[in-house]
A and B are shown apart, each in its own frame.
Chain A
Amino acid sequence: MTNAGQNSNYISGKTGDWEIVIGLEIHAQVLSSSKLFSGASTEFGKDPNHNVSLVDAAMPGMLPVINETCIKQAIKSGIALNAEINKYSVFDRKNYFYADLPQGYQISQYKYPIVGEGSLKITDANGEDKIIGIERIHLEQDAGKSLHDQHPSKSFIDLNRTGVALMEIVSKPDLRSPEEAASYVKKIRTVLRYIETCDGNMEQGSLRADCNVSVRKPNGDLGTRCEIKNLNSIKFISQAIQYEAERQVEILENGGVIDQETRLFDTSTGETRSMRSKEDAHDYRYFPDPDLLPLELSDSQISEIRSDMPELPDQLVERLISEYGITKYDANVIAEEKEYVHYYENSAKNRDGKLVVNWMTSELFGLLKKNNIQFNQNPISPNYLNELVELIENKTISGKIAKDVFEIMFATSKSPKMIVKEKGLEQVTDDSAIEFFVDQVINENKDKVKEYLSGKDKLFGFFVGQVMKVSQGKANPGLVNKILKSKLK
């Protein structure tokens, strides 16, 4: 079984199956109001060069001072990824010239990162758990932005992003398919958003990934890898990996060799192309930044953060399953976003958890998607979903009527109780009222009654349907059955 499952990840080439080996470097912008080494704001969307301090602009004599919040955020992220927190870490300078890099070097961590080895549980293509190794997390400064399309002959520089703190989360080469890579990025994003160390906003560039991709014969020696730089959506990550793996297979099967190189993904063509070869790689001349002392953490600093950790997605999934009796699949869907969890837990209070999860993941998510509405703009409050499920549970309305009520709730944000009352949608549970509907149907279908009584049992369903129709769906189906049976004797 396991083998068959793994095979579905393989690329089948002319010479047989190929296994894809993927390692990811995720750059996650640290959630913090000021930059890693300066007091400038990190607010997104400000006018160019608005959030720039003297340090960010690398004025003569300016010195970096570490932002304690960013350190805490990195530790928190490390704990959430089951990783070792290094009590001793060092900031290094990575030297290269570029117009949007004012210092002429990026302050990063090279030999001694703040977070060491960890792991993350993801769900693979077969719905099975898979543990992905984390190599390290280090802190570094983001660069600025070069704008080449503002002027025919000049480039413009925006330093707002310069010096903003990034966590580089490096995975081990444990991922085996574009789907696994997507699942891994999603999970990292979920975890960081949970613990509020990164907003995970990929469109704004708060989370981006470099993908290292190689192919090999199943379980053979590792192949030469190529690095695809700076992918800012989960879709692009999958596409780029798929394309790149197929490209490599084709080269190898035609007797070629893979050049170790850095590649770019062209989102318009869905292809990767060479950016620079290994020979052109920069010599970054890393060395410890003499402006900063090594970062030394005490056990108590770390344990304080550890004891303050919020519930993590994996723990939450376990709790949702045991507390609400929902499936693992549903629990995972709910756990994907913190706001889903809040919503779910509020709407499921004293209700049947399974019923609520179905309403939320199929009806609610369906309508939101259809109407292109973000979850945080959701017009139905959790209290009202709770109320709706209550109406179903106490048989005030049927499931079918509930769908109509739900659509009205979605359009008007009104309470389901009020909608049911206003529209008179309460289920009819009064025997005499149902008898009245039944009699009407029998009178109008005398020939069908005859056929039924002569043995055509299948017609019973027809009578039920007719009664429901006449009652405009409000008759309690159980009672309808019972009364019909007694009258059709």
Chain B
Amino acid sequence: MSNLLQFSISEVLSLLEKKEFSTKELVETYINAIEKTKDLNMYLTTCFDQAFEQAKISDQNYLNGSQRFLEGIPLGVKDMFCTKGIETTASSKILKKFIPTYESTVTQNLWKEGAINLGKLSCDEFAMGSSNETAAKGEVINPWNFEEKRTPGGSSGGSAAAVAAKAALAATGTDTGGSIRQPAAFCGVVGLKPTYGRCSRWGIVAFASSLDQAGPITRNVSDAALMLQVMSGYDPKDSTSSNKDVPNFYNDLGKSIKGIKIGIPEEYNSDGISSDILNAKDMTINFLKENGAEIIPVKLPLTKYSLPVYYIVAPAEASSNLARYDGVRYGARIDGNSLDEMYENTRNLGFGDEVKRRIMIGTYVLSSGYYDAYYLKAQKVRRLIKNEFDEIFKQVDYLVTPTTPTTAFKLGSTQDLLTMYLNDVFTVPASLAGIPGISLPIKLDKNKLPVGIQILGKDFDEQGLLNVAQVIESCASFKDTPNGVAS
């Protein structure tokens, strides 16, 4: 086989089954790719020895004809997922050398079906960021025009970059306000944030519990379907996980979208939005029309409140979720003369600026005297935003929007914080509402950077989302590859 890196998951599965190559060869190829793309700073930890061990088992299973659903598929894992025996830091100094004794449910689901862990991927510290610049071990470089040192997006920047650079066949990500979809858009790959509750949060380092959701980042839509199918499912260890049946996402792909109604919300627009992005949206609308979908302009007037609501709710939960990193039981500890001093020293040196900022915002909005004005009000508006989506989904089946207002910007170029936070303006509403969203690449902009389009759907309608996405994917026929890619 000339270049194993070119194949998607479904292709690899069928080629492995035909014994065109072995899992061992595949894993070797990916390890080489990881070595070659080291400068992009994507992997925090690698576990190649274990990967080879797993490859042996996979090859044996193919020999016996007892291969599992994702047998031999080499994956990268965002460092927010706890992995048994493998350092898990959430890209934070405070969790330096933390080695979990347990495996997150989502990754366990993947390994149980034969997938192979190549290593842990960088992200923004505790998934707080939109550029991967808050990672303790330094930012990841976007493989597109890599010499220009652009952001891969965030927080799942390492995951999206690794999939784009072919340093992983697919990767896991987590999305709290756009952390899967935005980096997927910046890196020209597919990123799916499932409905809140579709995937278990057990064993994922918590950022904002009511928003966090795991999902796949892949080369194409059908790979996303394969990954999601394995990652999903009810988990008694997570009280917020859903016990809804998991459909066979992959087998049910390919349905016609004739007659379905697509809403185009007019509010998903902004002053700084580039013409390339608007053009990608128009292209998408045309693809959908050509396939018989009905395009309906819709209004979602509460959209403008999403970002402020998000920046109250997420920091509030984070301020409480991150209280456990106190130096007492695990992770970093910087001693002091008293317990309080030890807390201060540990948390001061252990957390980066963005994390501290959000802890402070969160602490403030929950404080007595401010709770009603901020947190409680934000929760009420969040409910209204959810209601607005529910109402609109009575009129249309899906919504199509740009994923981001811009394409990947240069690392270090940004900008004031508010501009940075605006990166999530199109992705945050779906997070607040808990509905599923997918981003897929449509074209390159004038700087040869990918442009992503987002599709949003009803609760637990990932199947429909994947169908629509696949129709758009085949029309867009996005075949470009970044220059920072291994080959």
Contacts and interface: CB of A to CB of B under 8 A. Distances in A.
B205 A60 contact: yes
Contacts of B343: 97
Contact of B239 (A61, A66, A99, A105): A66
A290 B368 contact: no
Contacts of A103: 323-324
Contact of B323 (A65, A105, A155, A291): A105
Contacts of B204: 61
Given A60-B100, A61-B202, A285 B363 contact: yes
Given A60-B82, A61-B202, A61-B206, A283 B326 contact: no
A434 B164 CA distance: 115
B377 to A, nearest CB: 13
B384 interface: no
A292 B205 contact: no
Contact of A95 (B203, B323, B339, B375): B323
B366 A63 contact: no
B368 A283 contact: yes
A114 to B, nearest CB: 16
Contacts of B202: 61-63
Contact of A60 (B240, B324, B328): B324
A61 B201 contact: yes
Which has the most chain B C-beta neighbours within 10 Å: A60, A103, A157? A60
Contact of A285 (B81, B322, B330, B366): B366
Contacts of A105: 320, 323
Which has the most chain B C-beta neighbours within 10 Å: A61, A63, A93? A61
A468 interface: no
Interface string B183-216: 0000000000000000001111110111000000
A384 interface: no
A97 B323 contact: yes
Given A58-B324, A59-B100, A60-B88, A287 B366 contact: yes
Contacts, number: 97
Interface string A60-90: 1111111000000000000000000000000
B82 A290 contact: no
A479 interface: no
B interface: dominant SS: loop
B410 interface: no
Contact of B320 (A62, A93, A102): A93
A293 interface: yes
A399 interface: no
Given A61-B205, A105-B323, A292 B366 contact: no
Contacts of A202: none
B105 to A, nearest CB: 9
B326 A104 contact: yes
B334 to A, nearest CB: 15
B348 interface: no
Interface of A: 54, 57-66, 93, 95, 97-99, 102-105, 155, 157, 283, 285-287, 290-293
Given A60-B90, A61-B201, 13 more contacts: A61-B206, A65-B236, A95-B366, A97-B326, A99-B326, A102-B324, A157-B328, A283-B368, A285-B320, A285-B371, A287-B375, A292-B239, A293-B239
17 contacts: A59-B82, A60-B100, A61-B203, A61-B205, A63-B202, A63-B238, A64-B239, A102-B329, A103-B324, A286-B366, A286-B371, A287-B320, A287-B371, A290-B210, A291-B240, A292-B239, A293-B240
